[in-house]
Amino acid sequence: MKENVDSIDSKIIERANALRQALHHHNYRYYVLDDPEVSDAEYDRLMRELMGLESEYPELKTPDSPTVKVGAPPLNRFESVAHSVPMLSLDNAFADGDILEFDRRARKNLGTEDKLLYTAEPKMDGVAVELVYEGGRLVMASTRGDGFTGEVITENIRTIRSVPLVLKGDGHPVPERVEVRGEVFMEIERFKALNTARVDRGEQPFANPRNAAAGSLRQLDSAITAKRPLDIFFYGVGNMAGVEIDSHWETLCLLKDLGLKINPLIRPKIELPQVLEYYREIAEIRHRLPYEIDGAVIKIDSIPFQRQLGAKSRSPRWAIAYKFASIQETTRIERIEVQVGRTGALTPVAHLQPVSVGGVTVSRATLHNEDEIEKKDIRVGDQVLVQRAGDVIPEVVKVIPSTRTGKETTFEMPNDCPACGMQVVRAPGEALRRCNNAACPAQRKARIRHFASKGAFDIDGLGTKLVDKLVEKELVHSYADLFYLDVTTLEAMERMGSKSAKNLIEAIGKSKKVPFRRFIYALGIRHVGENSARLLEENYRDLAGLMAASGAELEAIEGIGPEIAQSIAHFFGKEKNRETIRRILESGLEITFPEPKAEKKSFAGKTFVLTGTLPTLKRAEAKAMIEAAGGKVSGSVSRKTDYLVAGESAGSKLDKAKELRVEIIDEVRLKELLQS
Ligand code: IVH
């Protein structure tokens, strides 16, 4: 009864073609550019629709259909490597029924009536990677790529703190060669701090923690990756030589014993009803987790069963992803407002018809900048898809053009500041327009809000509305004025009871004892986020020293680039800012400084000399490791040398060390010393 393509309704053929094209495009955006245009849920929906059509009309299938591929080919920038066992994707379930059906089919395929045991895991929303350990040493790491071929990112993976470079042998013989698989991710708080720092530096923020993780792994310069707070959980193996294990859970336990991080929320060997319970439990706690998960992965625990079931082209028959309902909704853009930030940057913000997105009412979403608006072709009156990821500011994912009525209007960024009327400028290479009027009321309000915010002075009860009113009533011009407010003045304001007035004055009083880094951050110096403020705190023992520092001096601090250094020097060079700081200090402010850390590093006071070729470490790496532990690396052996680290074909330094009876160690011993 094989149908001929000609006999299929042309509408269906067209639809399949359109879906294929869309999926190819989204694959490219996602896998190659790391810049997806649609949510995963939207992508999954398109994929399911195409898979549905192809299974109903098998003759529609083409050899290049996105349904037979796992992703797009990797870029040529990194070396490629073939995975010895393909890194498959997972089928998705969206309801309990899908899981029951999965279980039923698996038992049918296995020819068993018995209950199956499952191991259930959080589905990490990150980037899949494979690490190869040989003789216990990390020798290679790669991305999943298209599932068959990935990109070699060994150096980048080495930079992740939780990735062991050498496996532990605790109780188990270390497998001669093992391919381990896991998900690289970025914790939400760390992602937010990274984005703040990026915005401070005028760089484009990442859309979400997964993009931040992917972008960080896709760096040709691993020094950049090293600065990104990446983490990893391992969830499986590819090939593993010489070890026979017949349960997935036991595989995970082995990984754990080898020193590889596994997710503590994994629930081993449970029956079907507990699997459904598990899904509900993690759905309940997901918003309290420090990282993003997008569902649960349910795996048949028995490895013989896994082998027996095998895989389809994209996904195994022994595992399924039970995805959470996506936190996206559609709503309408009522108007677009332009906000002026504390550094004068103009940001377009969409005011939305309020809509509940995953239980939180969303009425505004950032549109980032004018290029974004143009790229997404966003118009006032448009029906749009909005999404909220964790605590991140809601954003417009895309327009739904099919709902357009023709009444929508395009939006243009203003040429004048909406708050003060001064002409705005968009500097070449910048995505944002700026108002350069330091007296602009919108900037003043934003600076004061920033000053009172959580990471800064953290003044309880000083919210947006109150700040706006204080500035509008000219009771506060700069943040220094906050410290000169009194109860009488506040009480005289509309809708301000004497109790709230007293509370606010008390809160301001309490904030007067402030750690140095918070003080620096609160000043609102352009490009200086919490991270830079912390670096400055580590490098200056008092405020006067920081205020007198030249750009060149600041730039010498590791982590402070030229742009930040210039900005700091410029800020403190301005008499107006110095005056504001003087006034703050005169109000009785107390800046506290961290206790100087008693440097108790293991290699403190020890001098090392390196010679010959070490088996795994490059000389620069060994040097960095020794220095990080407080040791010194010198170029020549003398009586002051404590250790000579000798590798292959060591020369005269080795002879000299023997002569002077300097202790000679190899790389393995060096690593042991570093660990102890
Ligand atoms: S198992 C054949 N376990 O989900 C088994 N995957 O859609 C495939 N993922 O590429 C993977 N958490 O990036 C597995 N606990 C987990 C996972 C997980 C996240 C990702 C992984 C994979 C994708 C499959």
pLDDT in tens, 89-104: 999 898 899 999 999 9
Q: Both tokens of residue 203?
A: 């760089």
pLDDT at 327 over 90: no
Nearest-CA residue for ligand 1 atom 5 is 88
CA of 467 to the centre of ligand 1 (A): 47
Return the closest-CA partner of residue 149 out of 90, 89, 240, 86. Answer: 86
Dihedral of CA 301/302/304/305: which sign? negative
Look at 610 and 600; give whichever has higher pLDDT: 610
Nearest-CA residue for ligand 1 atom 17 is 123
Ligand 1: which atom is nearest the Cα of residue 90? 7
Phi-psi region of 145 (alpha: psi -120 to 50; beta: other; left: phi over 0): left
Ligand 1: which atom is nearest the Cα of residue 128? 13
Confidence class of residue 280 from pLDDT cuts 50, 70 and 90? very high
Check if 606 is active-site. no
From 235, 309, 318, 324, give the residue whose CB has the most ligand 1 atoms within 8 Å, as the site to mutate. 235
| Whole-number pLDDT of residue 115 | 96
From 83, 88, 124, give the residue whose CB has the most ligand 1 atoms within 8 Å, as the site to mutate. 124
CA of 609 to the centre of ligand 1 (A): 45
CA of 482 to the centre of ligand 1 (A): 52
pLDDT at 3 over 90: no
| Whole-number pLDDT of residue 625 | 86
Tokens 């920038």 correspond to what residue? 77
From 143, 181, 183, 306, give the residue whose CB has the most ligand 1 atoms within 8 Å, as the site to mutate. 183
pLDDT digits 0-9 by tens, 32-60: 455 678 887 788 788 888 888 888 888 88
Mean of the pLDDT values across residues 253-267? 92
- Buried residues in 243-271 as b, exposed as e (16+ CB within 10 A): eeeebbbebbebbbebbbbbbebbbbebe
CA distances (Å), origin 352, targets 376, 393, 471, 633: 16, 14, 27, 60
Mean of the pLDDT values across residues 661-674? 90
| Whole-number pLDDT of residue 621 | 82
pLDDT digits 0-9 by tens, 405-436: 999 999 999 999 999 999 999 988 888 899 99
pLDDT at 5 over 80: no
pLDDT digits 0-9 by tens, 448-476: 999 999 889 999 999 899 999 999 999 99
Mean of the pLDDT values across residues 151-169? 86
Confidence class of residue 200 from pLDDT cuts 50, 70 and 90? confident
Tokens 């007035």 correspond to what residue? 501
| Whole-number pLDDT of residue 67 | 67
| Whole-number pLDDT of residue 73 | 38
Look at 415 and 61; give whichever has higher pLDDT: 415
| Whole-number pLDDT of residue 476 | 94
What is the C-alpha separation between 134 and 122, in angstroms, rounded? 28
| Whole-number pLDDT of residue 598 | 56
CA of 125 to the centre of ligand 1 (A): 9
For ligand 1, residues with CB inside 6 Å are: 88-90, 121, 123-124, 128, 144, 183, 235-236, 297, 316, 319, 321
Ligand 1: which atom is nearest the Cα of residue 321? 7
| Helix, coil or strand: residue 372 | helix
* Residue pair 70/146 in contact by the 8 Å Cβ criterion: yes
| Whole-number pLDDT of residue 75 | 40
DSSP summary character for residue 187: -
Mean of the pLDDT values across residues 514-532? 92
What is the C-alpha separation between 241 and 178, in angstroms, rounded? 6
Q: What angle do CA 332, 385, 183 make, to 5 degrees?
A: 155
Considering 11, 108, 123, 465, which one is annotated as catalytic? 123
Nearest-CA residue for ligand 1 atom 18 is 123
pLDDT at 667 over 80: yes
Distance of alpha carbon 74 from its chain centroid, rounded?
21
Nearest-CA residue for ligand 1 atom 24 is 89
| Helix, coil or strand: residue 529 | coil
Nearest-CA residue for ligand 1 atom 2 is 88
Return the closest-CA partner of residue 98 out of 90, 86, 87. Answer: 90
pLDDT digits 0-9 by tens, 565-592: 999 999 999 999 999 999 999 999 999 9
Confidence class of residue 165 from pLDDT cuts 50, 70 and 90? confident
What is the C-alpha separation between 199 and 197, in angstroms, rounded? 5
* Residue pair 576/610 in contact by the 8 Å Cβ criterion: no
Best-predicted range by mean pLDDT (9-13, 23-27, 407-411): 407-411
Strand-pair category, 267-270 with 230-240? unpaired
Dihedral of CA 633/634/635/637: which sign? negative
| Whole-number pLDDT of residue 671 | 86
| Whole-number pLDDT of residue 74 | 39
What is the C-alpha separation between 194 and 497, in angstroms, rounded? 40
> pTM to 2 decimals?
0.50
Mean pLDDT, all residues of the chain: 88
| Whole-number pLDDT of residue 64 | 59
**Least confident range of 199-203, 399-403, 438-442:** 199-203
Ligand 1: which atom is nearest the Cα of residue 126? 13
pLDDT at 2 over 50: no
Ligand 1: which atom is nearest the Cα of residue 92? 7
pLDDT at 599 over 70: no
pLDDT at 76 over 90: no
Instruction: End-to-end CA distance of the chain: give it in Å, rounded.
Output: 72
DSSP summary character for residue 31: I
Give the CA count within 13 Å in the CB-facing half-sphere of 62: 12
From 30, 90, 298, give the residue whose CB has the most ligand 1 atoms within 8 Å, as the site to mutate. 90
DSSP output for 301-359 = -BHHHHHHH-B-SSSBSSEEEEEPPPSEEEEEEEEEEEEE-TTSBEEEEEEEEEEEETT
